[in-house]
Amino acid sequence: MDERIEKWLYDIRFAIEEIESFFENTDRIFANFKQNTMLKRAIERNLEIIGEATNRILKQNPEIEITNARKIINLRNLVIHSYDSISDENIWAIIINNLPELEKEIQKLLND
């Protein structure tokens, strides 16, 4: 695997792990997330990193399959360029529903 692609895959994995670490000593409760601006911004930053790394990977090698890659990149663009139209509910849904599967997929790519 190309060293740059491997680095970007590690960037994605680290960003996901960092998001997960924010919930190590607390329950995953949407109301708590919604009220914590610092937490929301930290998660948004990590989602930007995930989206940017995904974009770079696909530009470097379009053959690499990452489920929902286009949606990941679009989310990054939304967070950066249309920050005022991001809903807490959508970010929360991504954290709960999508990140665990993405983490498994990225780990599999790193293992191959």
- In whole angstroms, what is the distance from residue 39 CA to residue 42 CA? 5
What mean pLDDT do residues 30-56 have?
97
What is the pLDDT at residue 84?
83
- The proportion of the chain whose per-residue pLDDT surpasses 90, expressed as a percent, equals 91
| CA distances for 86 relative to 5, 8, 17, 59, 92, angstroms | 29, 25, 22, 26, 11
pLDDT of 82 over the 90 cut: no
Q: Given the structure tokens 């470097």, which residue do they identify?
A: 60
pTM of the complete model: 0.94
Task: Give the helix, strand, coil percentages of the chain, each rounded to 5.
Answer: 80, 0, 20
What mean pLDDT do residues 46-60 have?
98
pLDDT of 45 over the 90 cut: yes
What is the pLDDT at residue 20?
97
